Amino acid sequence: MTQECCNTPRWNRDNWPIAAAMINFPGVLPNGSLVQEQSVDQWAETLQQVVDAGFTELDPTDSWLRVADLSPSRLREFQYVVKTLGLTIPAISTTRRSSVIDPDHADEYLAYNHRVIETAAAIGAKAVSFGLFGQFTEEQKKRLWFWTAEGVKNPDDAATYQKAVTRIRELGKHAAEYGIEVSLEMYEDTYIGTADGAVRFVNDVDVPSVGINADIGNLVRLHKPVEHWSAMIDKIVPYAKYWHVKNYMRIEDPDRGIYLSYPTSLALGIINYRIAVQKAIASGFKSAFLCEHYGGDGLTVCGMNREYLRTILPR
């Protein structure tokens, strides 16, 4: 039976879901084993760190653990660990295996995304995040900051664009059957790699359950000219759903062709999240947040960012 998508309760700064991303934990361990194959106790040991950082919400980001590829019994074990530690899962984010137009794995990733939706419904999550970006290139793997090298680009091709729209529409309709929102992550060199492109794409999909993951941190970190963060926010907040938040310092000197960035906390970076979040809520935003950070002790920085968000959310 079809349910109304994304009908969330009224939240405030004390109970708004703010999840920890698992990008700070590797999916492949130093001994070559996979988190996917770990025991319940080993999962619990990792997730205890999330709890110790003050989080009550978790996004089992699939760079760490592909919950949609767990067997039913293993998924129940994972849910047991999450519940025992007092955590909840508001959403599931995919990373580099969700592009439905991937030149080599498009059909495989489409099927995987459908499993992510069904798994989200099974564990009580209310959102999923998909993207159109590809795997790291060999050059990106060598860099300290992968965004300083060019990655895989979505082709400038009308047929491929329409294929992406059609397949995301299919996923959106599937998600709507469970009352789950689909949030499309903004990412450079994809069809949702600019504010204008993201708005156009979501309007072309034209399914209420599908919106924009307003992760403009992915864009302001680029070492090239980008649209001002405030202009992007104004365009995308009417479509904003599940939101990955992170921030960067940015130095620009156009006369010398200098554009540099590095990760920092939400409060200190170039994006003014106080303004961005207020604008989003004024436009009807009612989804969870996901805290991300690259570099250093990312989990601790995410905990700091969670507390900062609490101070700017509505009372």
Look up residue 190 and give its two tokens: 């994809």
Q: Please give the DSSP secondary-structure letter assigned to residue 144.
A: S
- What does the pLDDT read at residue 4? 41
Q: pLDDT class for 10, splitting at 50, 70, 90?
A: confident
- Summarised one tens digit per residue, pLDDT across range 99-123 is 999 999 999 999 999 999 999 999 9
Q: pLDDT class for 2, splitting at 50, 70, 90?
A: very low
282 pLDDT higher than 80: yes
Q: How far apart are CA 108 and CA 101, in angstroms?
A: 10
When pLDDT is averaged across residues 240-266 and rounded to a whole number, the result is: 97
Going by C-alpha positions, the residue among 199, 182, 34 that lies closest to residue 100 is 182
Torsion from C-alpha of 213, 217, 219, 223, nearest 10 degrees: -170
Q: How far apart are CA 310 and CA 294, in angstroms?
A: 21
Quickly tell me which residue has 């935003």 as its tokens: 285
The answer to whether the beta carbons of residues 258 and 252 sit under 8 Å apart is yes
- SS3 for 277? helix
Instruction: Tell me what percent of the residues of the chain surpass a pLDDT of 90.
Output: 97
When pLDDT is averaged across residues 49-65 and rounded to a whole number, the result is: 97
296 pLDDT higher than 80: yes
* Alpha-carbon radius of gyration of the chain: 18
Look up residue 154 and give its two tokens: 């979505």
Going by C-alpha positions, the residue among 293, 292, 291, 285 that lies closest to residue 313 is 285
- SS3 for 170? helix
When pLDDT is averaged across residues 256-285 and rounded to a whole number, the result is: 98
Going by C-alpha positions, the residue among 25, 17, 203 that lies closest to residue 126 is 17
- Summarised one tens digit per residue, pLDDT across range 39-51 is 999 999 999 999 9
- Summarised one tens digit per residue, pLDDT across range 162-188 is 999 999 999 999 999 999 999 999 999
- What does the pLDDT read at residue 133? 97
- What does the pLDDT read at residue 91? 98
Q: pLDDT class for 302, splitting at 50, 70, 90?
A: very high
Mean pLDDT, the chain, as a whole number? 96
When pLDDT is averaged across residues 199-224 and rounded to a whole number, the result is: 98
The answer to whether the beta carbons of residues 133 and 101 sit under 8 Å apart is no
Q: Judging by beta carbons within 10 Å of its beta carbon (0-12, 13-18, 19+), is residue 100 exposed, middle or buried?
A: buried
Output the pTM of the full model: 0.95
- Summarised one tens digit per residue, pLDDT across range 23-36 is 999 999 999 999 99
Torsion from C-alpha of 157, 162, 167, 168, nearest 10 degrees: 100
The Cα-based distances of 235 to 6, 230, 266 in angstroms read: 21, 9, 20
299 pLDDT higher than 90: yes
Quickly tell me which residue has 């009308």 as its tokens: 158
Q: Please give the DSSP secondary-structure letter assigned to residue 137.
A: P
- What does the pLDDT read at residue 6? 46
- What does the pLDDT read at residue 39? 96
